[in-house]
Amino acid sequence: MSHYCERAKDIAKEITNELATTLNNMDGDDMNTLLLEIQRADKVFFVGVGRVLLSLKAIAKRLAHLGIKTYVVGQITEPAITEKDLLIVGSGSGESAFPLIIAKKAKQYKATVAHIGANPKCSMNQFSDFFIKIPVSTKLQLPDEIASVQPMTSLFEQSLLLVGDTLALMMIREQDIDMPSLWKYHANLE
C-alpha cells in the first residue's frame, strides 16, 4: 500500500473520530424536540449560507422523502411561512447576517424558529424558540469550543448533515416506515 493511501486512511479516521465524538456529545432531548417540531409543522423551511446551506438542502431533500413539506428559503417555489410552520436555521456562530434577517422575519409571521448551531450565546437567540447545539468550534474560535483538525468549520457542516440523517432515521423507526417504499418519492427525471 502506498504512503498516500495510508495517509488518507489516517486522515479519514481522524475525521470520523471527530464526528463520532461530536454526535455522541449532542443532547438527545434537543434532538427529540426538533423531531417533534418537524413532525408538528405544516411546512419546514431551511436557511443557512455556504456549506451549511448545502447540508441543509440535503436534510430538506431527505425529509421530503419522508413526506415532510420542506422548502429552502429563496427557492423559486417557496410558499409563505405562517404560524403553523417551522424555520430551521443552520448557523454555527449564530451571527451570519442573512440567517439572522430571515429568522427575524419568520418571527414576525409567528413561525417557530429552531437554531442548529455551535454558539449558544449569539445574536440568533433573540429570534429562535429553541437551540440544538453541535458542540464544535465556530468561526469565532471561542475558548470553550471543541477544536477540529479540519479546516474552518468543516466539522460543523458534516455534523449538521449527520444530524439531519439521524432525524430521518429516527422518523423511519418511530413510524415503522418501509425503507424500500421510499424510492417512490425519489426524483425520477434523472
Q: What is the pLDDT of residues 121-167, one digit of tens each?
A: 999 999 999 999 999 977 666 666 677 888 788 999 999 999 999 99
157 classed as catalytic:
yes
Nearest CA to 61 out of 187, 190, 189 is that of 187
**Amino acid making up residue 36:** L
Q: Low-confidence residues of the chain, pLDDT below 70?
A: 1-4, 139-145
The pTM for the full model equals: 0.92
Options 145, 157, 174, 190, the catalytic residue: 157
